[in-house]
């Protein structure tokens, strides 16, 4: 039931992404679109767009109204991965089991492919049924702010600054809440905006999303130690090699796992409050469980 | 008169840019904002935002309604310069008389500074008085499309592909109309959208802007040969060194200068048509003359 619906949502997202950035002739500058599509259409768990659609569902809104915003967030996520993987940043050769964008197309096209996806994300939120309506505008603002210099990019800057040194737990938490958390909360909050959800309902969804984002990051840090590169589709064991501050390097594996259980519990409590008020959040429960137990 | 008004518009733009991306504490990821501000607030002719404000003036609309869109376009222009200057792209050390962003802050921060400016541009067009109105939405769509994979970025991709080889004149024209032309036409067209200008009026403004954009590019190619690095604030003589196809390397200096006079004439004819219909385009005439005779 959960898996079937997850697959159903992913299918809609994959078809949407494919259509949202169609191939372009090389004579018209199409190589950069090819490089963008290479990274955008390489699978992945699609957690952010799935969260947006699933939240909309819980709130009783038609999915097609939210799809453009879901695609935009996935494009922003993908652009950030392409730029993060560059030699001057994390210098990663593999992503989702394939060579990274700059390994495949060269650095110059990888920079432009990232730019393309960020720009295209905003073209999409500016040009859909909801963009002329107040709720659509609010959703777009949430996405823009979450991705910007006081959101995800600030987290990336903190990550750069933290390279090769051990930072305080509070600083690690801020870093992750910005770098990963904001773009995991964004789809949930954007869905609330699109649906015009009441403030207290939005607050519960936000509580859910923020704890889920934190759980996701802790799990990522754990998997860097426990998973294989094949399963993860990217190089593992990098964090300790790079002397990176993570939940595992700072607290050890055992405590990281107990923190993961704790924040997952908090996410579920927030969902339970929504369930108690009559919102159907079964799928979001399932997704939380899936993310907690994932091995990739 | 012209110079005084140009300076007046520039002052509004400089103040606006300074306020639109305020400094952020280092502990909150502020180094990337510092790098963004370094490139954004380094002067320059501010042609794109000036064009937007001057077009709005010709159409009788209040300037403050257009200022956010003008700032957004200048941010997009600046981000494209930062990424263009990177070692993997044009590998430039100087820009506007100062070390380029990556020379000053390193490559990783330069990539993120560009990302910051692009994202911030969209935050601004999504969050101002006009963004909830149809005309504001149209202006935002014009800007997004002009900057994207079928606009400026396509031009950059064509530029990459043309490196080190001589291309056909038609291909050069397409390359420039995308890489430079689209973001020079965008402010004029965005101003028409904001003012809700009639279609035929918009057409004359577009004709003006497209010829002005072409003139601007030809002049750039000429200055690469005739100007000094000091005056231009960037390395000159690069085009022939890099075997780059330009109006000068393809047609020779004399013919490039005669083409410049021709397209400038076409831009002025379009303005004259607008003047004949009662629009006050004196400043735009002055700006066209200024750009034709500039030596930097």
Give the range among A156-170, A253-267, B113-127, B253-267 with minimum mean pLDDT. A156-170
In this prediction, residue A97 has a pLDDT band, given cuts at 50, 70 and 90, of confident
In this prediction, residue B233 has a pLDDT band, given cuts at 50, 70 and 90, of confident
- How far apart CA B215 and CA B181 sit, in angstroms, is 9
- How many angstroms separate the CA of residue B58 from the nearest CA in chain A? 27
Instruction: Tell me which residues of chain B, numbers 121 to 160, contact chain A at a CB-CB cutoff of 8 Å.
Output: 122-123, 126-127, 131-132, 134, 137, 140-141, 144-145, 147-150, 153-158, 160
Look at residue A237 and tell me whether its pLDDT is greater than 80. no
As a whole number, mean pLDDT of residues A245-251 equals 90
Pairwise CB contact (< 8 Å): A27 & B156: no
Among B89, B109, B137, beta carbon nearest to A108: B89
Give the range among A143-157, B38-52, B233-247 with minimum mean pLDDT. B233-247
Look at residue B231 and tell me whether its pLDDT is greater than 70. no
Across chain A, what does the average pLDDT equal? 94
Give the range among A262-266, A269-273, B227-231, B282-286 with minimum mean pLDDT. B227-231
As a whole number, mean pLDDT of residues B182-211 equals 98
- How far apart CA B283 and CA B285 sit, in angstroms, is 5
**ipTM value:** 0.96
Look at residue A171 and tell me whether its pLDDT is greater than 90. yes
Look at residue B74 and tell me whether its pLDDT is greater than 90. yes
Look at residue A117 and tell me whether its pLDDT is greater than 70. yes
Among B24, B27, B149, beta carbon nearest to A24: B149
In this prediction, residue A296 has a pLDDT band, given cuts at 50, 70 and 90, of confident
Across chain B, what does the average pLDDT equal? 94
Domain that holds residue B211: 2-293
Count of domains observed in chain A:
1
How many A-B residue pairs are in contact by the CB < 8 A criterion? Answer: 164
Is B108 an 8 Å CB contact of chain A?
Answer: yes
Look at residue B98 and tell me whether its pLDDT is greater than 70. yes
Give the range among A236-240, A242-246, B26-30, B69-73 with minimum mean pLDDT. A236-240
As a whole number, mean pLDDT of residues B175-201 equals 97
Give the range among A65-69, A162-166, A275-279, B24-28 with minimum mean pLDDT. A162-166
Look at residue A238 and tell me whether its pLDDT is greater than 80. no
pLDDT recorded at residue B25:
95
As a whole number, mean pLDDT of residues A198-225 equals 95
Is B168 an 8 Å CB contact of chain A?
Answer: no
Look at residue B228 and tell me whether its pLDDT is greater than 90. no
pLDDT recorded at residue B191:
98
Of A116, A16, A128, nearest to B151 (Cα)?
Answer: A116
Is A40 an 8 Å CB contact of chain B?
Answer: no
Look at residue A198 and tell me whether its pLDDT is greater than 70. yes
Interface test mutation site (partner B, options A112, A121, A149, A152, max chain B beta carbons within 10 A): A149
pLDDT recorded at residue A67:
98
Residue A107, domain CATH: 1.10.600.10
B295 vs A54 pLDDT, higher one: A54
Pairwise CB contact (< 8 Å): A149 & B29: yes
Give the range among A31-35, A102-106, A129-133, A240-244 with minimum mean pLDDT. A240-244
As a whole number, mean pLDDT of residues B56-60 equals 97
Instruction: Tell me which residues of chain A, numbers 72 to 101, contact chain B at a CB-CB cutoff of 8 Å.
Output: 79, 83, 86, 88-89
Look at residue A241 and tell me whether its pLDDT is greater than 80. no
pLDDT recorded at residue B97:
87
Give the range among B129-133, B271-275, B291-295 with minimum mean pLDDT. B291-295
pLDDT recorded at residue A231:
67
Percent of the residues in chain B that have a pLDDT greater than 70, as a whole number: 97
Is B196 an 8 Å CB contact of chain A?
Answer: no
As a whole number, mean pLDDT of residues B152-160 equals 96
In this prediction, residue A96 has a pLDDT band, given cuts at 50, 70 and 90, of confident
- How far apart CA A83 and CA B32 sit, in angstroms, is 14
pTM of the model: 0.96
Look at residue B51 and tell me whether its pLDDT is greater than 90. yes
Please list every residue in chain A whose beta carbon sits closer than 8 Å to the beta carbon of residue B119.
118, 144, 147-149, 153
pLDDT recorded at residue B188:
98
Please list every residue in chain B whose beta carbon sits closer than 8 Å to the beta carbon of residue A109.
157, 160
Count of CB atoms within 10 A of residue B58's CB?
A: 24
Could you please report the per-residue DSSP string of chain A?
Answer: -HHHHHHHHHHHHHHHHHHHS----GGGTTHHHHHHHHHHTS----HHHHHHHHHHHHTT--HHHHHHHHHHHHHHHHHHHHHHHSTTTT--SEETTEE-HHHHH-HHHHHHHHHHHHHHHHHHHHSSTTTTSHHHHHHHHHHHHHHSTTTHHHHHHHHHHHTTS---HHHHHHHHIIIIIHHHHHHHHHHHHHHT--HHHHHHHHHHHHHHHHHHHHHHHHHHHHS-HHHHTS--SHHHHTT---HHHHH-HHHHHHHHHHHHHHHHHHHHHHHHTT---HHHHHHHHHHHH---
pLDDT recorded at residue A113:
98
């Amino acid at each position: 039931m959960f898996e079937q619906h997850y697959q159903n949502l992913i299918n809609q997202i994959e078809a949407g992404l494919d259509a949202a950035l169609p191939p372009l002739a090389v004579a018209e500058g199409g190589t950069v679109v090819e490089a963008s599509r290479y990274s955008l259409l390489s699978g992945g768990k699609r957690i952010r767009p799935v969260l947006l659609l699933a939240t909309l569902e819980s709130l009783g809104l038609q999915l097609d109204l939210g799809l453009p915003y879901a695609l935009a967030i996935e494009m922003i996520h993908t652009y950030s991965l392409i730029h993060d993987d560059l030699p001057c940043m994390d210098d990663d050769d593999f992503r989702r089991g394939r060579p990274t964008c700059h390994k495949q197309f060269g650095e110059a096209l990888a920079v432009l492919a990232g730019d393309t996806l960020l720009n295209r994300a905003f073209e999409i939120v500016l040009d859909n049924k909801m963009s002329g309506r107040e709720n659509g505008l609010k959703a777009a603002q949430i996405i823009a702010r979450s991705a910007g210099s006081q959101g995800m990019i600030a987290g990336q800057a903190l990550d750069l600054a933290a390279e090769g040194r051990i930072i305080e737990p509070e600083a690690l938490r801020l870093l992750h809440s910005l770098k990963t958390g904001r773009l995991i909360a964004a789809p949930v909050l954007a869905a609330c905006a699109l649906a015009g959800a009441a403030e207290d309902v939005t607050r519960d969804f936000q509580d859910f999303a923020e704890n889920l984002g934190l759980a996701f990051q802790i799990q990522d840090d754990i998997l860097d130690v426990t998973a294989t590169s094949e399963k993860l589709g990217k190089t593992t064991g990098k964090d300790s090699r790079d002397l990176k501050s993570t939940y595992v390097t700072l607290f050890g594996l055992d405590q990281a796992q107990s923190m993961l259980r704790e924040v997952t519990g908090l996410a579920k409590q927030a969902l339970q409050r929504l369930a108690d008020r009559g919102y159907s959040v079964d799928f979001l429960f399932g997704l939380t469980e899936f993310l907690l137990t994932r091995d990739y």
